[in-house]
Amino acid sequence: MIFDPVIPVLWIIAISVVMLASTAYFQWRSGSALNIGRRVFLLTLRICAIGIIVLLLLQPSREDQVPVPTIPKSVIFAIDTSASMVEPHDDGASRIDAARADLESAGVLAADPSTHRFFLFDEQAYPANSESILKAIPSGKTTRFHSSISGILKASPQPPPAALFIFSDGHDFELVPPGQTARLTRARDLPVYTIPYGTSDSARDISVSIANYHPHTFIRQKTRLEAVVRVFGCEHETITVDLLRDGEKVSSQLMDTGTKPFLNAKFDVLHEEPDQYEYTFRVSPVANERELSNNTATTYLNVISERIRILEIEGQPFWDSTFLRRSFGRNDKFDIDSLVAFTGNRVRPIRSNPDRVATDLKVPSDIDDLMPYNIVVLGRDVGRVIGLDGIRAIATWVKEHGGIVVFSRGKAWPEGTAVDKDLEPIEWDTDSPRGARIAVTPQAGSVPAFKLLREVAAEDRFPEVIAFPATGDPKTLASTFSVAEDDSPTIVYRRFGNGQTLSLGVGNLWRWVFNPKADYDNNAYDRFWDQLALWLLANGGVTPVEGYSLRADASNIALGETVHFRFGVHGVNPPATFPSITLTHDGQPAANLTLTPAEDNTSARTEFTPTETGRYLAEITAPDGKRIATRFIVFREDMERTETAMDRTYLAELAKASGGKMIANDEIAPLITNLLRDSAEQDPLTRRTPLWDQPWLFFLLCFLLGLEWYNRRRWGLT
């Protein structure tokens, strides 16, 4: 029993003595007329009451031992095994060896495996243990933080993790912002702590990669070929960039590397004859350059003689439709016909080609009216122009005849229009626009138009546009090509039957033309629509030719990616059986590919994933006996061994956005101890239970005093 007196104990003793003495004196004196038994009885009652009062002043309590419940927790450790981790740390050891040493010094590798979970990651995450960490070889070809962390979270280690420790140099080639990745861990209440390895120096290297891909261009049209030159550790040097056509140098330019990590090399070319031309960018090496194989990049330019025909239908004219029509109209490879609604029921026909009479342009009402066109661009409220029959004809043209429809301004017709719901890849609420800046998703990484967006947006050249919120999720098998800041979709692509649809939930893209940094004659707006239209054509195999065609969806692809082929039939009878594609690699047989026919037998498709770099030639013997060929090149993009500087900024932003922080190696052990404190066995807590504040004690005091008073009055005492 423990006492917690209200006042000092000496005072309580003094008060007790005074109370007992005075009680005994006055009680005995006033009860002199009573017999001894009654006097003792009254004195006993009073003494007991005084005892209870003294007990209340002392405030006695009891101490109990309360066990502390343990809360099972674990800690996740993710160690980067990409190729850049073989580079030296600031102490001279390799980065992964430095990470292993820090894990051992913190006692992590020898800790209880039930509370310490391990993963190795590069392109994705792999479960590991202390033994596999010690034997791990850093050979990953790329680093993808977002995919790796997603995989770790899906593994759902038990007991629940209290934190995620990442040991890495910070390289990330997935192009997902660290804040977006941190949202995954924040949703699980999982802070990320990052430990950086490496130095700020990078290997001396210059590499070149194709910046734009032209599936088609038009004869006698000036076409700009662009390449991105990456510079690592080669500041303020003069380099030469050569352009070679079919192995022969046709142009050259000198460039000062300066201090920027990226440079743009641009060449304008023009052809008088249709054909497929090979172009190579070649960059002169610098002294002590680590890797020379990435100093060249090759692409193929397909030159055609027939213009691509586009039909634009607009029921609510606005600047977006006007600028889009003008953009296609001043591009020599396109003929654009426009049907624009005005007041009342008036429809104005507009043709970009002066040789074709605008008055001959009629409103399409059936499939035959749409067959001359390669692409149909829809604005708003197109039912005012073509009616419900025209909308249904467009749906049939896409689904059964491989047409291409672009929804350029969100929803093209009012809600409830009786048309196939799957025609639109996503539905927008065009009545609630909001300001937004768009970002390209990894799904659009191989689409030239969106590569351009990513390149230009990285330099913050694009002004803010307006975005329309989606009223639902993208349809099944749809791909989101761009998103707003809140990750809501803004541009969505989807195959529909034999054709393709692309829906833009954004407006005011025409403002890109008036950006002060934009080159008006070759602005990003014109280039975006040019490359987007050409990619859609190449992706669908639609080409402005008669007879048979063979097309690949890309001419230069990274090793490990897949190239898709389409054999098309245009204006002739489909063959009874489709021929196979013969593939050669640097002149040697590589594979024979079997084509899979479409339902209507007007096309057939196949795909191929190269396992070696180099030039490839795909040939096919058409049913009319002609040999048709297309070429592509496969390159290796090995930035893990060239861009080796530690990225502290990425690691710091990832950790901060998740609720953690970037830490030094000597902070690992104490932080782990703190995180796992609740899961370790602890000494029991002492709980103090008061004994003096019990209700029965107060009732007893009142009873004693009341009984004493009652008997005193009963026996004639005052």
d(CA 231, CA 261): 5
**Is the confidence at residue 716, as pLDDT, over 80?**
no
Q: What are phi and psi of 242, to 5 degrees?
A: -105, 145
**Is the confidence at residue 64, as pLDDT, over 90?**
no
In a domain, 196, yes or no: no
The CATH number of the domain holding residue 590 is 2.60.40.10
pLDDT given for residue 214 in this prediction: 62
- Residue range 354-413, pLDDT digits in tens: 666 656 788 888 888 888 888 999 998 888 888 888 999 999 988 888 889 999 888 888
In this structure, the answer to whether residues 589 and 468 fall within a common structural domain is: no
pLDDT given for residue 156 in this prediction: 65
In a domain, 699, yes or no: yes
In a domain, 509, yes or no: yes
- Going by the DSSP 8-state scheme, the letter that residue 68 receives in this structure is P
d(CA 52, CA 54): 5
**Is the confidence at residue 544, as pLDDT, over 50?**
no
In this structure, the answer to whether residues 218 and 339 fall within a common structural domain is: no
Last residue of a domain, one of 635, 662, 694: 635
In this structure, the answer to whether residues 312 and 291 fall within a common structural domain is: no
The total number of structural domains that make up the chain: 5
In this structure, the answer to whether residues 225 and 276 fall within a common structural domain is: yes
- Kindly list the strands in the beta sheet with 547-552, ordered across the sheet, starting from the edge strand earlier in the chain: 547-552, 563-570, 603-608, 596-597
The lowest-confidence range among 505-519, 564-578, 620-634, 701-715 is 505-519
In a domain, 448, yes or no: yes
Last residue of a domain, one of 262, 278, 304: 304
In this structure, the answer to whether residues 300 and 323 fall within a common structural domain is: no
**Is the confidence at residue 134, as pLDDT, over 90?**
yes
In this structure, the answer to whether residues 691 and 611 fall within a common structural domain is: no
**DSSP string of 350-413?**
EES-TTS-GGG-----SHHHHTT-SEEEE-S-THHHHHHHHHHHHHHHHHHH--EEEETTS--S
The pLDDT-based confidence of 518 (bands split at 50, 70, 90) is low
The lowest-confidence range among 98-107, 206-215, 630-639 is 206-215
In this structure, the answer to whether residues 241 and 209 fall within a common structural domain is: yes
In this structure, the answer to whether residues 466 and 358 fall within a common structural domain is: yes
pTM assigned to the model: 0.48
Helix (H/G/I), strand (E/B), else coil: 176 = coil
Could you list the beta-strand ranges (E) of 425-523.
434-436, 439-440, 465-467, 479-483, 489-496, 499-504, 506-507
The pLDDT-based confidence of 281 (bands split at 50, 70, 90) is very high
In a domain, 198, yes or no: no
Last residue of a domain, one of 289, 304, 319: 304
Range of the domain at 283: 205-304
The CATH number of the domain holding residue 512 is 3.40.50.880
The pLDDT-based confidence of 324 (bands split at 50, 70, 90) is confident
Tell me the percentage of the chain whose pLDDT exceeds 70: 89
In this structure, the answer to whether residues 289 and 433 fall within a common structural domain is: no
In this structure, the answer to whether residues 338 and 480 fall within a common structural domain is: yes
In a domain, 555, yes or no: yes
In a domain, 192, yes or no: no
Mean pLDDT along residues 534-558: 70
- Residue range 141-170, pLDDT digits in tens: 889 999 999 999 988 667 788 999 999 998
Helix H or strand E segment including 665: none
Which residue has 């692309």 as its token pair?
A: 502
In this structure, the answer to whether residues 355 and 480 fall within a common structural domain is: yes
In this structure, the answer to whether residues 485 and 372 fall within a common structural domain is: yes
Q: Could you tell me which of 640, 663, 662 has the C-alpha nearest to residue 182?
A: 662
In a domain, 115, yes or no: yes
- Going by the DSSP 8-state scheme, the letter that residue 470 receives in this structure is B
